Amino acid sequence: MQEPIELYFWPTPNGLKVSIALEEMGLAYVVKPVAIGKGEQFKPDFMAISPNNRMPAIIDPDGPGGAPISVFESGAILQYLGRKTGKFYPSDERARVEVDEWLFWQMSGVGPMFGQASHFRNYAPNLVDDPEKVAYGVTRYNNEVNRLLGVLERRLEGREFIAGDYSIADMASYPWIKIAAVFSQDMSAFPRVQAWLDRIAERPATKKGAGVGAELRRPAPAPGSAEAKEAAKALFGQTAASIASAVNEKKTAQS
C-alpha cells in the first residue's frame, strides 16, 4: 500500500491551495501541522524541507523513481502534483504555458498583495505605534487587491475558469480571492469573479480540501495583547540573524 504524502500545513490560503489540490487529485495525505504563530516554521526538521521557513511543504514517499522527494513553495507543489497525477495541469505545451502564466500571476501578485493587505489590517497594529503608517499600508494594499480583482474580472469574460479547464491556476487563486471582501472590496463590482468563486466552492473536493485544518483555527487574539504581539513577532520582521537565532533555540530545545 502506497504511503500517504506528508503535508506540512497551517490553514492559511497558501496551505489550503495544496489541501484542495490533494483532494481534487485523489491523493492520500496526512496533515503535519506547522503552527506558524508559535514559530514552529523555524524547527530544524521543517527547515530541512522548507529552507524559506514557510509552509506549505510536502514529502512524497513515492517520488520520482520511487524515491522520496520533498517540495516547498505552494506553486512548485501544485506543479509537481499536477505532473505526478496528470490531472489539472495539461501536457500540451501551449495549454500548460497558459496555466503557468496564471499560476505565476497568483504567486507573484495575488498572494503577496493580499498577504500585505492582511498584514496591515491584522498584524501591523501590533507592531507599529504610528497609526498613520498603518493607515497608509491598509489603503495601499486594499487598492492593489482591487486592481487584481479587476484583472481577474476581465480574464473571466467568456470563461468559466482562469486558464481553460479547471486547473491548478484556479486552485492557487481560489483560497485568496475568496477572502477579498475582508479587504473592503465590494464583490458586486466583480460579478464574474463572484460567479467563479461560487462554481469552485460547489466542487465536492474543494469543500473537503478547504475544510482541512478547521480544528486548528482559533479566534484571533485581542489586538495589542501579549499573545497578539508574540504571534506578530513570529510571523513578521524576521532577519537572517533572528531566524538563525530561532533555529539555534529550537536545536537546543530538541537536544
30-83: per-residue pLDDT in tens?
Answer: 999 999 988 999 999 999 999 999 999 999 999 999 999 999 999 999 999 999
d(CA 55, CA 46): 9
Question: What is the separation of C-alpha 74 from the centre of its chain, rounded to a whole number of angstroms?
Answer: 7
% the chain with pLDDT above 90: 78
User: Residue 138: is its pLDDT beyond 70?
Assistant: yes
Residue 72 β-bridge partners: 57
pLDDT, tens digit, 9 for 90 and up, residues 88-97: 999 999 999 9
The secondary structure of residue 167, as a DSSP letter, is -
Domain annotation covers residue 232: no
In-domain check, residue 190: yes
Statement to judge: residues 32 and 80 lie in one domain: yes
CB 79: neighbour CB atoms within 10 A?
18
Looking at the structure, tell me whether residues 84 and 134 fall in a common domain: no
Note whether 136 and 200 are same-domain residues.
yes
- In-domain check, residue 221: no
Which CATH number goes with the domain that contains 55? Answer: 3.40.30.10
65 with 113, same domain: the answer is no
Same domain as 201, residue 112 = yes
**If residue 6 lies in a helix (H) or strand (E), which one and from where to where?**
strand 5-9
- Is residue 215 in some structural domain? no
Lowest-confidence range among 91-95, 116-120, 221-225?
A: 221-225
Same domain assignment for residues 159 and 61? no
The three-class DSSP label of residue 70 is: strand
Q: State whether 97 and 177 are in the same domain.
A: yes
Averaged pLDDT, 121-138: 86
Contact 6, 55 (CB under 8 A): no
Dist. CA 29–CA 60, nearest whole Å: 9
Structural domain includes residue 45:
yes
Measured distance CA(62)–CA(225) in Å, rounded? 45
Q: Is residue 41, in this structure, part of any structural domain at all?
A: yes
In one-letter notation, the amino acid at residue 1 is M
Asked if 121 contacts 184 with a C-beta cutoff of 8 angstroms, the reply is: no
Answer whether residue 251 shows pLDDT above 80: no
pLDDT digits (tens, 9 = 90+) for 156-204: 999 999 999 999 999 999 999 999 999 999 999 999 999 999 999 999 9
Instruction: Cell numbers for 28, please give them.
Output: 492520500
Between 132 and 9, residue with greater pLDDT: 9
Q: Which CATH number do you get for residue 155? A: 1.20.1050.10
**Which residue type is seen at 106?**
Q
Kindly state the percentage of the chain with pLDDT values over 70.
Answer: 86
Q: Which amino acid is at 170?
A: D
Q: Are 110 and 161 in a shared domain?
A: yes
Q: Are residues 70 and 117 in the same domain?
A: no
191 lies in some domain: yes
Based on C-alpha coordinates, what's the Rg of the chain? 19
Alpha-helical (H) ranges within the chain are: 13-24, 44-47, 74-85, 93-105, 111-118, 131-155, 168-177, 191-201, 204-210, 226-235, 240-254
Q: How confident is the model at residue 243 (pLDDT cuts 50, 70, 90)?
A: low
- pLDDT per residue as tens digits for the range 202-212: 999 999 999 99
Cα separations in angstroms, 109 against 46, 102, 103, 177: 26, 10, 10, 12
pLDDT of residue 234: 65
Asked whether residue 192 falls in the same domain as residue 119, the answer is yes
Give the total number of structural domains in the chain: 2
Same domain? 64 vs 100: no
User: Domain range holding 159?
Assistant: 93-210
Q: Is residue 172 part of a domain?
A: yes
Separation CA 20–CA 209 (nearest Å): 4
Average pLDDT, the chain: 91
Q: Assess whether pLDDT exceeds 70 at residue 233.
A: no
Q: Is the pLDDT of residue 224 over 70?
A: no
Q: Are residues 104 and 145 in the same domain?
A: yes
